[in-house]
Amino acid sequence: MVQIRSMKTFKAAWEIKQNWQLLFPLIGLGSLGYSAFKLTSLLPFSELYIFIPASLVMFYVLLKIVVFAITKLESKWIVNARWELIRIFIVFAITGSSSVLVGRPIIKWLGITQDNLHPLLYWILFITISLFFYQVLLVVIGWIFGQFQFFWNFEKKMIRRFGLGRFLKD
């Protein structure tokens, strides 16, 4: 009975009306757990009795940061339900990783390496190419996750901040 009540409380807090919407908090928690594991593996200890508690502490800290960010952005971002904020965070995470994964082969295809270009110029070019693909992937992945309008508006705001607003028809 306690589990049912806590699930109802969870669903009410995140404005979840249908069970399929629970998928996004589960994906978010899984991704957060994986991130905590990867970040903890960067620390200089490998003993299991230290690694597991450190991973749990890292997970808790990351969870607190994400919940804090969601509460701050909740009033800024216009969404229909709180659980959609988790979906938006997932889209940002996937897009950030994907833009780097797409940018790396493109820069190799162009024949640009750190050996034939100054390292500073290489990284500026790599970040520029990745940023371009980030803009495209943000809208595409946002559309896949059912948040096209949010990310299209977000993208238009970003384009204006880059000083390219004259190319938009609004």
**How many structural domains is the chain composed of?**
2
Domain that holds residue 36: 20-76
Query: 165 and 147, same structural domain?
Result: yes
Q: What is the structure's pLDDT at 116?
A: 86
The rounded percent of the chain whose pLDDT value lies above 70 is: 96
Query: 169 and 156, same structural domain?
Result: yes
pLDDT tens figures, 92-144: 999 988 998 998 899 889 888 888 888 899 899 989 898 889 999 999 999 99
Instruction: Determine the distance from the C-alpha atom of residue 130 to the mean position of all C-alpha atoms in its chain, rounded to a whole number.
Output: 15
Residue 169 above 80 pLDDT?
no
Query: 156 and 88, same structural domain?
Result: yes
The whole-angstrom separation of Cα 40 and Cα 21 is: 30
Q: What is the structure's pLDDT at 82?
A: 86
| Both structure tokens of 90 | 């997932």
Query: 110 and 145, same structural domain?
Result: yes
Domain end (from 76, 104, 119): 76
Q: Is residue 87 part of a domain?
A: yes
1-5, 78-82, 118-122, 154-158: which has the minimum mean pLDDT?
1-5
Residue that is written with structure tokens 């908090």 in the block: 25
Average pLDDT score over the chain: 88
Q: Is residue 10 part of a domain?
A: no
Residue 1 above 50 pLDDT?
no
Q: Which is higher by pLDDT, 139 or 49?
A: 139
Instruction: Determine the distance from the C-alpha atom of residue 136 to the mean position of all C-alpha atoms in its chain, rounded to a whole number.
Output: 15
Q: How many residues does the chain have?
A: 170
Query: 159 and 95, same structural domain?
Result: yes
Query: 88 and 51, same structural domain?
Result: no
Per-residue H/E/C for 43-64: CCCCCHHHHHHHHHHHHHHHHH
Q: Is residue 12 part of a domain?
A: no
What is the DSSP secondary structure assignment for residue 147, as one 8-state letter? -
